[in-house]
Structure 1
Amino acid sequence: MEKILFVASESVPFIKTGGLADVVGSLPKYFDKEKYDVRVMLPKYMCMKDEWKEKLTYCTHFYMDLNWRTQYVGILELEYDGITFYFIDNEYYFNGFAPYGDMYSDIEKFAFFSKAVLSALPLIDFRPDILHCHDWQSGLVPVYLDNFRYGNEFYRGIKTIMTIHNLKFQGTWDTKRVMDITGLPRYYFAPDKLEAYKDANYLKGGIVYADRITTVSSSYAEEIKTPFYGEKLDGLMNARANSLSGIVNGIDYEDYDPADDPHIEKNYTVDNFRKEKVKNKTALQKELGLEADHRVMMIGVVSRLTDQKGFDLISYVMDELCQDAVQLVVLGTGEEQYENMFRHYAWKYSDKVSANIFYSEPMSHKVYASCDAFLMPSLFEPCGLSQLMSLRYGTVPIVRETGGLKDTVEPYNEFEKTGTGFSFMNYNAHEMLGTVRYAERIYYDKKRDWNKIVERGMQKDFSWKNSAKQYEELYESILC
């Protein structure tokens, strides 16, 4: 049986700040249990909910050198949904009200975490064949592993995969300080290893030393080889192109299922959505104080409100969009300028725009189930999960053709009667508005075609089953 250990900084249901947690928490359940023993290792954050902290059982502890300091490392474990989760405990590093703080303390925190993961392996009676590392927080694991191999037979032959969920976040800090923090020899801080533009770069270290690199969609794997998307690492991505591949994320089809979702007003399936889905819309209109009219097209947005997600485009044409026969429901928090922009338009067009500047899981389900279309005009999108949830709930995505959005949303073709959504190519506000208006036209004038788009979207399978199969093939190719 192949043994795989996921190493990550967050995972549902224990701690979540973004899509990374969904991947780490959901994907391990979908591997073939007879062939793979997949476990997960995380930090034990003080800010985890007590209901989880109380369930952890003590495994062992030891003391570890982190260059000139000696630090306590506790290991706790918990079985959840048939998967063993290990938690690395150290209150000095993992205290605070959030998993991440300022960059300097995070750099030391995740150097400690990466070394502790490897140091813990001989003590937990689990020697993985593959360490599957996620994002910069575990970028030093392949580097430390290379260092540990000298003179220690236990670590020889362990393979590593580095999965990049978002290349923008790399974990960079002053080289001299990182040498002091990590205790790694000077040899590792050369421009062909950890050093990038005079700083030490955790993610770069992981990419250089991992046996394979994956990203969360095939298009993003291609895009990051170009200067625009490559975040200054495009040269390295091209150099490692033979080891780089993209596997689209999935979503948990049990959590996101319109047929028995407890959060929504009226459950529905691909067979009866024509009658039942609209009942969610009218319920949400009443709840949010929008004009109650089941015929009007409702467009949803559930997102972090940041530049990356294309909100400068929406901001630019918001007044024009509000002249159309549409309602806009926004859910999320983020940059102040966008939070205030949506608040302003919710005040100016109170019967058309609802700005919910907070995040709530039940409310997000209501938005996916109630809206007719879902707007996601990202500047870049490694994978994106919201468009997959929209398709699952029969809410037609309107997206920009980038990264995972391009890979998962097939643009509607009115002549061939194909497609699961609408898309535009250039990062341009009026091109986006033109695409939204084209979708409006189909919605109002060609209702039968619109329902067929919905139906095709709901029939697509973006569950983790597909992704897990592709990861299994990747594991086999490394181990054979």
Structure 2
Amino acid sequence: MERYILSDKEGVLVKKILFVASEAVPFIKTGGLADVVGALPKCFDKKEYDVRVIIPKYLCMKEEYKNQLQYVTHFYMDIGYRREYVGIMQMEYEGIQFYFIDNEYYFSGYQPYGEIRFDIEKFAFFSKAALSVLPVIGFRPDLIHCHDWQTGLVPVYLNDSFQQGEFYRGIKTVMTIHNLKFQGTWDIKTVRQITGLPAHFFTPDKMEAFKDANLLKGGLVYADAITTVSNTYAEEIKTEFYGEHLEGLMQARSNDLRGIVNGIDYDEYNPQTDKFIVKNYNAKNFRKEKVKNKLALQRELGLEENPKAMMIGVVSRLTDQKGFDLVNYVMDELCQDSIQLVVLGTGEERYENMFRHFAWKYQGKVSANIFYDNGLSHRIYAASDAFLMPSLFEPCGLSQLMSLRYGTLPIVRETGGLKDTVEPYNEFENTGTGFSFTNYNAHEMLGIIRYAEHIYYDKKREWNKLVDRAMARDFSWANSAKQYEEMYDWLIGK
């Protein structure tokens, strides 16, 4: 079978890549995974790569996009003991061909994810359907790029019943871990019934982990290559602390594992053109213009209007992973300092209430916005002087990349992507783009926040040079896409 198709440019062979994922912007988003799947395919050279995307057609998708989908066809597919309807819809968006798997039984919820037992059945169906539709839509990829546990069964199915078909033979797979904490586990008997996979797949060297079936593990065992979203996280997950009980497998597959840092959309996150912020600015005029965003945000949120007060921003899910137990521990001490703290996000009730409490206790100094608002998030990035991310673990992290783009200096813990993307300030060498601390310790965090305060208040020229360097860093998707292209070329050429 012909492996490549010729492109318009004579003599260049186009490599066909398929992204399979549970979410993608602008259609459906719960986290950073959607940003990756929506943004990355646009960044490949179209003369060399034909990149397409398959996601579920959720009922909770935005109406404006659902109305634009075109029906392709439908068929019925056997999975486990069931026979299921598989509808195919399609739409081209910003030059990328998207396909949507339609099945109202599985995808009609008010949100993409729910109870884990049903999610496992839902994404087992989706994984098998994503492979089954390929001959129907006339697209045979050279490589399928799978994202997180929801697509972990794609490499497994490809090594099972699909191997009998000439069409599928030789297709390579890549498995990307966006967060190893989420693995898709349930008891073996149920997962065997759901998937229809033979017993020999459920052994400790394959999909079995601690007496349960583990969908992500299946993908990691059978994929031709594994990536995760930063170099440091790729090393960390080989250790017991970060490995989520799969560190042995990560060590065993270390030759096939690499870290590629995520990017952000530099058109959407651009202080010079951002429609959400009060005053646009750039790397040349931020010294005069950036502060106008701070004054406007102080007014909007009822904080004390003071252009000189150091404003620290937080835009985050409010969970243990993000280090808010550290913040809670030293919050009273921190609020004695000459700072303002602006928080935006939702999550665990105790952290939501913790920030509400401190906003009540320190009115005019702390603003707790316990909801999510995209426009407000942009205004916080633009208005703040520093951005706090004291994560326990962080596979990549996007907020620190956005804050660098807006000249808002990140204060981070040295873990995962935070360590890879934020260079700590060195006052003796005049280097760095932010501030960082090493140990997961509340007072070590407070110490580095106070060091940042010292630079902000007492060494303003040095602070502004840090901002210069931060805004000069390039974390656009184009950089990441080059690294993915190298990996695709290597795998397809094997």
TM bucket normalised to smaller: over 0.9
Are residue 233 (structure 1) and residue 246 (structure 2) matched? yes
Alignment counterpart, residue 370 of structure 2, candidates 357, 381, 387: 357
User: Within 2, Cα distance between the matches of 1:301 and 1:189?
Assistant: 43
Are residue 42 (structure 1) and residue 66 (structure 2) matched? no
Alignment counterpart, residue 476 of structure 2, candidates 463, 469, 473: 463
Q: Equivalent residues in 2 for 1:245-260 (5 A)?
A: 245-260=258-273
Aligned to 2:331: 318
Aligned to 2:132: 119
Are residue 412 (structure 1) and residue 425 (structure 2) matched? yes
| Contact 1:297–1:327 (Cα < 8 Å) also in 2 | yes
SS in 2 for 1:384: coil
User: Within 1, Cα distance between the matches of 2:405 and 2:82?
Assistant: 50
User: Within 2, Cα distance between the matches of 1:304 and 1:454?
Assistant: 26
1:152 Cα offset (Å): 1.0
Aligned to 1:370: 383
| Contact 1:290–1:350 (Cα < 8 Å) also in 2 | yes
SS in 2 for 1:107: helix
User: Within 1, Cα distance between the matches of 2:80 and 2:230?
Assistant: 37
1:123-180 per-position Cα deviation (integer Å, ceiling 9, x unaligned) = 0011000000000000000000001343211110000000000000000001000000
Are residue 207 (structure 1) and residue 220 (structure 2) matched? yes
TM (norm. structure 1) is 1.00
Alignment counterpart, residue 299 of structure 1, candidates 304, 307, 312: 312
User: Within 1, Cα distance between the matches of 2:41 and 2:370?
Assistant: 32
User: Within 1, Cα distance between the matches of 2:20 and 2:457?
Assistant: 48
Are residue 166 (structure 1) and residue 179 (structure 2) matched? yes
SS in 2 for 1:93: helix
SS in 2 for 1:154: coil
1:249-282 per-position Cα deviation (integer Å, ceiling 9, x unaligned) = 0000000000000000000000000000000000
Aligned to 1:272: 285
Aligned to 1:398: 411
Alignment counterpart, residue 77 of structure 2, candidates 64, 67, 78: 64
| Contact 1:23–1:249 (Cα < 8 Å) also in 2 | yes
1:177-236 per-position Cα deviation (integer Å, ceiling 9, x unaligned) = 000000001111111000000000000000000000000000000000000000000000
Are residue 25 (structure 1) and residue 35 (structure 2) matched? no
Are residue 345 (structure 1) and residue 358 (structure 2) matched? yes
Of 280-289 and 144-153, deviating more is 144-153
User: Within 1, Cα distance between the matches of 2:74 and 2:316?
Assistant: 40
The unaligned stretches of length 5 or more in structure 1 are none
SS in 2 for 1:313: helix
TM (norm. structure 2) is 0.97
User: Within 2, Cα distance between the matches of 1:353 and 1:149?
Assistant: 57
Q: Equivalent residues in 2 for 1:425-464 (5 A)?
A: 425-464=438-477
Identity %: 74
Counterpart AA for 2:473:
K
The unaligned stretches of length 5 or more in structure 2 are 1-13
SS in 1 for 2:182: coil
| Contact 1:148–1:155 (Cα < 8 Å) also in 2 | no
User: Within 2, Cα distance between the matches of 1:464 and 1:408?
Assistant: 14
Matched length: 480
Aligned to 2:199: 186
User: Within 2, Cα distance between the matches of 1:14 and 1:476?
Assistant: 29
SS in 2 for 1:117: helix
Aligned to 2:210: 197
User: Within 1, Cα distance between the matches of 2:116 and 2:163?
Assistant: 31
User: Within 2, Cα distance between the matches of 1:455 and 1:301?
Assistant: 21
Aligned to 1:108: 121
Aligned to 1:330: 343
User: Within 2, Cα distance between the matches of 1:438 and 1:61?
Assistant: 61
1:7-39 per-position Cα deviation (integer Å, ceiling 9, x unaligned) = 000000000000000000000000011000001
SS in 1 for 2:163: coil
User: Within 2, Cα distance between the matches of 1:224 and 1:187?
Assistant: 27
Aligned to 2:7: none
User: Within 1, Cα distance between the matches of 2:80 and 2:241?
Assistant: 37
User: Within 1, Cα distance between the matches of 2:286 and 2:425?
Assistant: 19
SS in 2 for 1:442: helix
Aligned to 2:17: 4
Aligned to 1:155: 168
1:49 Cα offset (Å): 1.4
Aligned to 1:218: 231
1:457-480 per-position Cα deviation (integer Å, ceiling 9, x unaligned) = 000000000000000000011011
Counterpart AA for 2:446:
L
User: Within 2, Cα distance between the matches of 1:67 and 1:470?
Assistant: 38
User: Within 2, Cα distance between the matches of 1:393 and 1:144?
Assistant: 44
SS in 2 for 1:150: helix
User: Within 2, Cα distance between the matches of 1:150 and 1:320?
Assistant: 62
1:63-99 per-position Cα deviation (integer Å, ceiling 9, x unaligned) = 0001211000000000000000000000000011000
SS in 2 for 1:214: strand
User: Within 2, Cα distance between the matches of 1:123 and 1:452?
Assistant: 56
Are residue 129 (structure 1) and residue 142 (structure 2) matched? yes
Counterpart AA for 2:94:
D
1:272-315 per-position Cα deviation (integer Å, ceiling 9, x unaligned) = 00000000000000000000000000000000000000000000
1:43 Cα offset (Å): 0.3
RMSD across aligned C-alpha pairs, in angstroms? Answer: 0.5
User: Within 2, Cα distance between the matches of 1:10 and 1:152?
Assistant: 28
SS in 1 for 2:464: helix
| Contact 1:88–1:116 (Cα < 8 Å) also in 2 | yes
Aligned to 1:83: 96
